[in-house]
Structure 1
Amino acid sequence: MSSNREYSTAGTLRLGATETSPCFRASSEAGGKTNLFKELEFHQVRKHSQHTAGDAFMVHKDSRNNRLLTVLSDGLGSGVKANILANMTARMAIKFAESDTDFVHYAKVIMNSLPVCKVRKIAYATFTVVDCRPDGSVQIVEQGNPPFILLRGGEPIEIDCREYGSTQGDYRRLRVYRFDAHPEDRIVFFSDGVTESGMGSATYPLGWRIQGCAEFTQKLVGADPRMSARTLAEQVVRGALQKEPERKAYDDITCGVLYFRTPRRTLLASGPPFSEKRDADYAETIRSFDGHTIVSGGTSAEIVARELNAKIETDLFRFRRSTLPPVSRIEGVDLVTEGILTLTETLNLLDGKPRPAQENAAVLLADQLLDSDVIQILVGTKINQAHQDPNLPVELEIRRSLMRRIATVLETTYFKEVKLEFI
């Protein structure tokens, strides 16, 4: 872990105690002829001398029109003043974009209404707005922020843009891009804390710059074509931080990544069916599922193993220092964990609890859910009397309530498509 922990910042939408901000994820099916999913995440480090980030990252899913809107705004300077200006700008941009009118007009309104620094003659906040439509079309509006990078086929490509001037002078220009997304496209956008990282050093006298960022992202995706938006955003921020003297952020560093892909699917099954007559159907649903499969609960695992004529092998040594029960293996199932304790800890992680230093079953389960776009949750409704004991800790909620809460946080916080089914 880097020594920069004390300078970490919380993300605009989530809080945590990790070195950098937790990533925000939004997954949404593009639909139409493209049928793509949009995975959106960001990573952020605030300036080392500040307690508040001067960059704002906001996301809005317009469920009425199935649009995904995101804004990255960079307030002038750093700290509280920059944070207020960045958040104000981002909220205005989201509201205007959501209105589905001519956003170029409203972008000019935002640009012209922002106060201008009398000394530096630049706006008090810059912004990048990304508007994704259900048919796979994308509109990006930039004012003052570095140009975004579009990775297509693993390589950065150029997209034509239209530029609009400001009524207050040519020192502010509005860039507007319109294009159709392709499968495996990645849009990487950031504040100037990324492109200007390392500025003034012997190695990077002019900073990392767009070209350096583009080459870096191309190399990362080339080495791992399935790299998630979460990992790519984090790697870009870490790459920028490594350019800074003593690896201390001398400006707020924020990177967002939008990844268009075919949906990744996961089935989470927990609890035995209400009727034993459904055991075979329960196991067959897991066996035939097209995607990753997770079984949580000892009784559930026994049913699946019996019906699939497979053995359960418990790994007692993988997480021997963990306070949670160990993971197991069943042929044909990707992850097998204990039930209520592991699911409760998984919910805590999804709700923003810092990740433990050592991996455990809950970390594996949470990571798999976060790496998925479509999640089917299959809940057995047979009552386990052990979990109705009032003397047990409050955290041991009955399974149905716990799974509902997991489904809710996946839908509302991470914008997942979740199907909850009781059997």
Structure 2
Amino acid sequence: MKWDVPSITEFMEPFYDAGFTAKTLATILLDECYARYGGSPGDDTTVCVVKIRKREPVNLLMGPPADRDDCGKMLSLFFSKEGRHIICGGTTSEIAAEYLGRKLIPHREIVDPEVPPISELEGVDLVTEGVVTMGKVLKYAQDYLQDNEKFKQWSYKRDGASLIARMLFEDATDIHFFIGKAVNPAHQITGMPIGFDVKMQVVQELEACLRQMGKRIRVSYF
């Protein structure tokens, strides 16, 4: 395979301008090398990517507080933070809409049958369903730390999990989780696959994955 430095530079420049992380840029370049070998590499290929960027904070709110009287405190702190804001969970988004005095607009379009539709709320960058969506994000995060094979799924899709993945994996440098510890009665029905323990496990495992990605993480529980 003959592919010199100027050719590699020309190939990679558009991806750099798109704002991809060093990890994703390395994946793109390795995939192209693999393709140029016709799927049968004739030699080793090693890629090292270093990227310097400005800090980009993202705040993610999931779940109402254990004490409903703390809603105002939690939301006030959440919205006071610099950066983009993500809200996960139907009840949580309704509480946020009431706090902001704005209308929550659910989307009807199902982009991915495994991920519930997103919603819109003025003043919030992204509103999604809760545990199911975040569970999908966790799977993407775990794959990202391995071979990043699912990159082609979440890198362009418009479902809630893909949108969160792009914001957390690609855009964010600092992530502040605001986690409400209220128990959702609907999830306590016998036979339901989603429970409070599952929610907390998803949050903790995702936090660990993001730390491995080099993100600065802060978690506040309410």
TM superposition score normalised by structure 1: 0.45
Whole-angstrom distance in 1 between the partners of 2:53 and 2:25: 14
Report what 1:415 is aligned to: 214
Unmatched 5+ stretches in structure 1: 1-197, 199-206
Report the Cα offset of residue 219 of structure 1: 5.2
| Matched letter for residue 199 of structure 2 | R
Whole-angstrom distance in 1 between the partners of 2:140 and 2:15: 27
**Percent identity between the aligned chains?**
26
- Kept in 2, the 8 Å contact 1:344–1:395? The answer is no
| Matched letter for residue 210 of structure 1 | V
Structure 1 counterpart of 2:28, from 217, 232, 235: 235
- Kept in 1, the 8 Å contact 2:87–2:127? The answer is yes
Structure 1 counterpart of 2:191, from 364, 385, 391: 391
Report what 1:289 is aligned to: 81
Whole-angstrom distance in 2 between the partners of 1:241 and 1:301: 44
Matched, 1:210 2:22: no
Q: Which has the larger radius of gyration?
A: 1
Unmatched 5+ stretches in structure 2: none
SS at match of 1:400: helix
Number of aligned residue pairs: give it.
213
Alignment of 1:348-359 (within 5 A): 348-352=139-143, 355=150, 359=157
Whole-angstrom distance in 2 between the partners of 1:281 and 1:396: 22
Alignment of 1:284-363 (within 5 A): 284-319=76-111, 321-352=112-143, 355=150, 359=157, 360-363=159-162
Whole-angstrom distance in 1 between the partners of 2:140 and 2:128: 16
| Matched letter for residue 137 of structure 2 | T
SS at match of 2:50: strand
Alignment of 1:94-243 (within 5 A): 198=1, 207-218=2-13, 220-221=15-16, 224=17, 226-243=19-36
> Do the aligned partners of residues 370 and 219 (structure 1) sit closer, same or farther apart at CA in structure 2, a change above 3 Å counting?
closer
Report the Cα offset of residue 218 of structure 1: 4.1
- Kept in 2, the 8 Å contact 1:376–1:419? The answer is yes
Of residues 234-243 and 361-370 in structure 1, the stretch that sits farther from structure 2 once superposed is 234-243
Whole-angstrom distance in 2 between the partners of 1:394 and 1:286: 25
Whole-angstrom distance in 2 between the partners of 1:387 and 1:219: 45
> Do the aligned partners of residues 282 and 340 (structure 1) sit closer, same or farther apart at CA in structure 2, a change above 3 Å counting?
same
Across the aligned residues of Structure 1 and Structure 2, the Cα RMSD in angstroms comes to: 2.7
RCO greater where, 1 or 2, for CA within 8 Å and sep 6 or more?
A: 2
| Matched letter for residue 376 of structure 1 | H
SS at match of 1:316: coil
Whole-angstrom distance in 1 between the partners of 2:128 and 2:77: 18
Can you list the C-alpha shifts for 1:347-404, whole angstroms capped at 9, x where unaligned?
2222228638584322222232112221111011222222233422267744333322
Whole-angstrom distance in 2 between the partners of 1:212 and 1:288: 46
Report the Cα offset of residue 270 of structure 1: 0.5
Report the Cα offset of residue 282 of structure 1: 2.5
**Which 4+ runs in 1 deviate beyond 4 A?**
none
Whole-angstrom distance in 1 between the partners of 2:70 and 2:196: 26
Report the Cα offset of residue 322 of structure 1: 1.4
